[in-house]
Amino acid sequence: MKKHNQNLLHDRRSFIKGISFALGASALGMPLISFSTGAAGSSETGSDSEFETVRPSQKKLGVALVGLGSYSTHQLAPALQDTEKCHLAGIVTGTPSKAEAWKRKYNIPDKNIYNYDTMQQIKGNPDIDIIYIVLPNGMHAEYTIKAAETGKHVICEKPMATSVEDCKRMIDACNRNNVKLSIGYRLHFEPHHQRVMELGQQKVYGAVNKIEAADSFVLRGDPTVWRLDKELAGGGPLMDLGIYCVQGAIYTLGNEPSAVTAKFGEITRPDYFDEVEQSIDWQMHFQDGAVAYCSSSYNDSASRLYGKAKNGWWELQPSFGYSGIKGRTSEGPMNLPNVNQQARQMDAFAECILENKESRVPGEMGMRDVNILMAIYEAARTGKKVQIS
Rg (CA), the chain: 20
Look over the chain and give the mean of its residue pLDDT values, rounded to a whole number. 89
Taking residues 294-323, report their average pLDDT.
Answer: 98
The string of pLDDT tens digits covering residues 303-312 is 999 999 999 9
Judge residue 360's burial from the number of C-beta atoms within 10 Å of its C-beta, 0-12 exposed, 13-18 middle, 19 or more buried: middle
Query: Predicted confidence band at 95 (pLDDT cuts at 50, 70, 90)?
Result: very high
22 has a pLDDT exceeding 50: no
List the catalytic residue out of 106, 158, 272, 298. Answer: 158
Give the chain's domains with CATH numbers: 6-186 (3.40.50.720), 187-338+364-387 (3.30.360.10)
Instruction: Report yes or no: 24 and 240 within 8 Å, Cβ to Cβ.
Output: yes
Question: Collapsing DSSP states into helix, strand and coil, what is residue 389?
Answer: coil
Task: Over range 268-272, report the average pLDDT.
Answer: 97
Res 208 pLDDT > 80? yes
pLDDT of residue 18: 40
Whole-number pLDDT of residue 368 = 98
Among 42, 16, 18, 47, CA closest to 28: 42
**Residue percentage of the chain with pLDDT more than 70:** 85
The answer to whether 41 and 69 are in contact (CB under 8 A) is: yes
Residue 75 gets the label, from left (phi > 0), alpha (psi -120 to 50) or beta, of alpha
Whole-number pLDDT of residue 6: 42
String of b and e for 163-189 (b: at least 16 CB within 10 Å)?
Answer: bbebbbbbbebbeebebbbbbbbbbbb
- Spatial separation of the C-alpha atoms in residues 367 and 144, rounded to whole Å: 14
pLDDT at 191: 98
> Is residue 180 annotated as a catalytic residue, yes or no?
no
pLDDT tens digits along 349-385: 999 999 999 999 999 999 999 999 999 999 999 999 9
- Counting residues of the chain whose pLDDT is more than 90, the rounded percentage is 84
- Distance from the Cα of residue 178 to its chain's centroid: 24
Element (H, E) at 375: helix 363-382
Smallest CA-to-CA distance from 26 within 211, 214, 261, 198 is with 214
Residue 114 · residue 98 · CB < 8 Å: no
| pLDDT, mean of residues 180-205 | 98
Counted residue by residue, the chain has a size of: 389
Given a cut of 70, whether residue 56 has pLDDT beyond it is no
| C-alpha neighbours within 13 Å on the C-beta side of residue 32 | 0
pLDDT of residue 59: 67
Which DSSP string corresponds to 96-143? HHHHHHHHHHHT--GGGEE-TTTGGGGGG-TT--EEEE-S-GGGHHHH
Give pLDDT, residue 275. 98
* Annotation marks residue 384 as catalytic: no
Q: What is the pLDDT of residues 327-354, one digit of tens each?
A: 999 999 999 999 999 999 999 999 999 9
Which listed residue (114, 205, 244, 322) is catalytic?
244
- 27 pLDDT more than 50: no
Kindly state the average pLDDT of the residues 97-110. 98
Q: How far apart are the first and last CA of the chain?
A: 34
